[in-house]
Amino acid sequence: MFLVPLFAFPILGILNVILTRRHQENKTKIRGLQWSIASLVYFFFLWWATPSHYRFSFHTSIEWLTLHQVKLNWGPLAFAIDGVSIFFIGLTILLIPICILVSWTSIRYLIKEFVISLFLIELLLIGVFTTLDILVFYVLFEGILIPMFIIIGIWGSREEKVRAAFYFFFYTLVGSLFMLICIFKIYELTGTTNYLTLLTLELPSDLQTWLFVGFFLSLAVKIPMIPFHIWLPQAHVEAPVAGSVVLAGILLKLGGYGFIRFSFPLFPCASEYLSPIVITLSLIAIVYGSFTTCRQNDMKRLIAYSSVAHMGLVTLSIFTHSIEGLVASLFLMIAHGFVSSGLFMGVTVLYDRHHTRSIRYYRGVCSSMPLFATLMLCLTLANISFPSTCNFIGEFLSILSAFQYAWWAGVLACSGVILSATYALYMYNRIFFGSLSPMILHNREMTRREFDALLPLLVFTLVLGIFPNALLYGMTMGSYATVGSI
């Protein structure tokens, strides 16, 4: 029953917000923030209570679909957490109150609907990361599209927001249909969609290849991998700040989580056989994504393209098929969730004051916003994997696993690190240093609310970079459990 409150807090938050009168907008935000913080507090208790072996724990099951007339018994829906899923659940629960806080003044209409959409995303994501049924995973995986589509299409910042919402919706929906076909085939062969049962079965090796390809097409769109990345920059640029934080912070991680949870253990032969192709696409994403990032003039678009490069490093680490690679991919995804979300929030701080994201517009921001410049410097250094940040730990292990796989893969992975320093420091230098631009003479320092929203992400980035064992032990045990299930 430990998992029940994880689902209960978002549901109670939704009910509380619904019962709030519509004209009480400030009260709606406060209640949403209170319930999201309560969920975060409970998660820390759950993390403390998690067994040290980090295998599947806190099993919860629900009878779902039984038709005695046709002898159909789908079996109970099973939910549990382990050393892989618990970190993604924590990242989800951490980002929701930050999204509410950072959107406090930027969202001016349909406040109740906005808060409800965020709670729905939290509820669905918790289900995605705890379910032990691949069909339920697919349903929740696709269900996230609906509130995210609404957030981008209604509260987006520019006129092309509806187009960006449809880009996001249709790219991910069409890609996921291949996963649904594969799930039907798996059920036809085995008579079950229960994950733990499927781990004990061995699918035919020739069929594994086709099943792997189907899952790959669905998950690669979510990450997104090249050439399935077209929707990402458009969605990021048009989304409100909360949408960008959720997209960069957690939704891009669904693809990597799916690879680790399903593609790697369920289709081991196909995963090993097709890994050179996936690694090649990952290296292309690292190099091409970094070069494309260097030529961007829009701050949000620059950070969005940098995500393509960083997530390429994640998939590279996963398909090196080593413990170092699995741990690196998990650590990189968590670190990227902190840093990328913080950078998007920093861009919004400037956008709220000057209503433009063009890098050419800004210069000398450091003189009028020294505190903001300091926080952004720390996040920028983390984005280039500076030592003592959590990104450094993840990229170090990732490059180590790449060199263990092949020397040329390690060299190309290193080039991405060098290029990331190029575009990140160049952007920071153009915006914060130099003589003060005449267009921002009446600039003002960040507010207390903006500082409070950014601070937790920066604290986690630095603390986990200095004390990485806080996560590494659980990630290592979870990775060993994943490898041992093959």
CA triple 350-241-32, angle to 5 deg? 125
pLDDT of residue 188: 86
Give residue 480's pLDDT band: very low, low, confident or very high (50, 70, 90): low
Distance CA 376, CA 346 (A): 7
pLDDT at 306 over 90: no
Q: How far apart are CA 127 and CA 132, in angstroms?
A: 10
Tokens 């724990």 correspond to 57
Is pLDDT of 440 > 80? no
User: Full-prediction pTM beyond 0.85?
Assistant: yes
Structure tokens at 152: 């981008």
- Report the pLDDT value the prediction gives residue 228, as an integer from 0 to 100: 80
Strand, coil or helix: 11: helix
Q: How many CB atoms lie within 10 A of CB 360?
A: 11
The two three-digit tokens of residue 348, written as one number: 């919004």
List, for residues 126-149, the tens digit of each pLDDT value: 999 988 888 889 988 888 888 988
In the predicted model, what is the mean pLDDT of residues 68-79? 60
Residue 120 has pLDDT above 90, yes or no: yes
Least confident of 50-64, 171-185, 326-340, 467-481: 50-64
Tell me if residue 66 falls in helix, strand or coil.
strand
Cα–Cα dist 66/51, whole Å: 33
Number of DSSP helices (H) and strands (E) in the chain, helices first: 22, 4
- % of the chain at pLDDT higher than 90: 12
Nearest to 168 by CA among 245, 230, 218, 92: 230
User: Residue 15 and residue 37: Cα distance in Å, rounded?
Assistant: 16
Phi/psi of residue 60, nearest 5 degrees = -135, 130
End-to-end CA distance of the chain: 29
pLDDT per residue as tens digits for the range 315-327: 998 888 888 888 8
For 142-156, the DSSP string reads HHTHHHHHHHHHHH-
Q: How far is CA 83 from CA 115, 261, 326, 475, 478, in A?
A: 30, 11, 12, 6, 4
Partners of 66 in the β-ladder: 73
**For the segment 149-204, what is each residue's pLDDT rounded down to a tens digit?**
888 888 887 677 888 888 888 888 888 888 899 998 888 888 888 888 888 888 88
- What DSSP assignment string belongs to 19-78? HS-TT-HHHHHHHHHHHHHHHHHHHHHHHHHS-TT-SSEEEEEE---EEGGGTEE---EE
SS3 339: helix
Q: Hey, what amino acid is at 20?
A: T
Query: What is the signed CA dihedral for 352, 223, 428, 341, rounded to 10 degrees?
Result: 50
In the structure encoding, which two tokens stand for residue 30, read together? 């406060």
pLDDT exceeds cutoff 80 at 483: no
**What is the pLDDT at residue 121?**
92
Residues 250-303: pLDDT tens digits?
888 888 898 988 888 888 888 888 889 999 999 998 888 888 888 888 888 888
CA dihedral 221, 222, 225, 228 (to 10 degrees): 30
Is cis: bond before 224, omega within 30 of 0? Answer: yes
Residue 119 has a pLDDT of: 92
Mean pLDDT of the chain: 84
Whether the predicted pLDDT of 441 surpasses 90 = no
Could you say which DSSP state residue 452 is in?
Answer: H
Three-state DSSP class for 78? Answer: strand
Q: Residue 70 pLDDT more than 50? A: no
State how far the alpha carbon of 469 is from the alpha carbons of 266, 319, 324, 477, in Å: 29, 23, 14, 12
- Exposure string of 176-194, with b = 16+ CB inside 10 Å and e = fewer, is bebbbebbeebeeeeebbb
Residue 18 pLDDT grade (very low, low, confident, very high; cuts 50, 70, 90): confident
β strands within 82-193, DSSP E: none
pLDDT at 486 exceeding the cut of 50: no
| Domain spans in the chain, listed from the N-terminal domain onward | 2-480
* pLDDT at residue number 52: 64
Tell me, rounded to whole angstroms, the distance of Cα 389 from its chain centroid. Answer: 18
